[in-house]
Structure 1
Amino acid sequence: MELLKRKSRRKNLIKELNFMNLQEEPFLEIEDNDLFCKKVFSFLNTKKNKIQLHGDDYKENIQKSIQLLNETIDNIEVTPEKGRLLFFRENEIEAVSINVNEVFINLDKVLDLTKFSMGYGDFILVAEDFHFGLCTERTEYFYEFCVWGL
């Protein structure tokens, strides 16, 4: 029953991403997806070059993060073709295979859909092999920004 519910939530996520051109099957198998997400967070814990973003409240942290994301995107010389964007949902995190350029073009919509702009989820876009990444993670008192390979 839980498997069917998750498949239904995945279909709904695809419908929400109708403004992007997704490949036929943008999801990993459920067990592989969960393992990939665990690897992402383990990998991010090893990164030392994180920038701490401090604001007066979470809303200011979000705005500073979005500004830094936009500045970083504007300075990328060669955009990778594919990556996995993490979508935080109530019961799980989905790592969706997505065209990186489309993420950048539709960043405002993506930030709303990932719920990052509302302070709910992190913004995490990584290559499947971790060759590149662009991430803003929430912590208790500030946000951490990390970029590599771009």
Structure 2
Amino acid sequence: MYFTSLQSREGKMQIHGNHYREHIEISEQMLKEMVKKVKVTPTQGRLLFFREHEIEALLVYVHEVFSHLNQLIEQTKFSSGYGDFILVAEDFRFGLCIERTEYYYELSIWGCKRRD
């Protein structure tokens, strides 16, 4: 369900770099900047991350994800290009996602209030 909804989401921002490592670095920086600007989120959400042959969907406190973002980027192996970064509310009314595509990454954010 999550991936079907993510595919149909409009307003994604493309993240381009000269090579895959640069895609990752720019994506991490954009993710960190977005987290700083988010003012209101749901209390809990699902952090999806990839394992060998399955996808885990941990129930987490969103503020804890934001507080420990650097460690989670490493733990989920997003920083090595292994998987996407997907944080969504159970009801899918909130999301902060960076998805890998063949040639670039895509950033989606919805359902949160941002600081100006």
TM class by shorter-chain length? over 0.9
Q: Which has the higher helix share?
A: 1
The amino acid across from 2:2 in the alignment is V
User: Structure 1 length as normaliser, TM-score?
Assistant: 0.73
Structure (1 or 2) with the larger CA radius of gyration? 1
Q: Per-residue CA shift, 1:123-148, capped at 9, x if unaligned?
A: 00000100100000001110000000
CA contact (8 A) 2:41 2:94 kept: no
Matched, 1:108 2:70: yes
Q: Gapped runs of 5+ residues in structure 1?
A: 1-38
3-state DSSP class of the match of 1:144? strand
Aligned to 2:89: 127
Displacement of 1:80 in angstroms is 2.1
Aligned to 1:17: none
Aligned to 1:36: none
Q: Give the number of equivalent residue pairs.
A: 112
Percent of matched pairs sharing the same residue:
55
Aligned to 1:92: 54
Higher relative contact order (CA 8 A, sep 6+): 2
Q: Runs (4+) of structure 1 moved beyond 4 Å?
A: none
Aligned to 1:117: 79
Matched, 1:53 2:19: no
Displacement of 1:100 in angstroms is 0.7
Q: Gapped runs of 5+ residues in structure 2?
A: none
Matches within 5 A, 1:20-31: none
Displacement of 1:91 in angstroms is 1.1
Aligned to 1:147: 109
Q: CA RMSD in A?
A: 0.7
CA distance in 2, matches of 1:59, 1:102: 27
The amino acid across from 1:129 in the alignment is D
Aligned to 1:63: 25
CA distance in 1, matches of 2:20, 2:75: 18
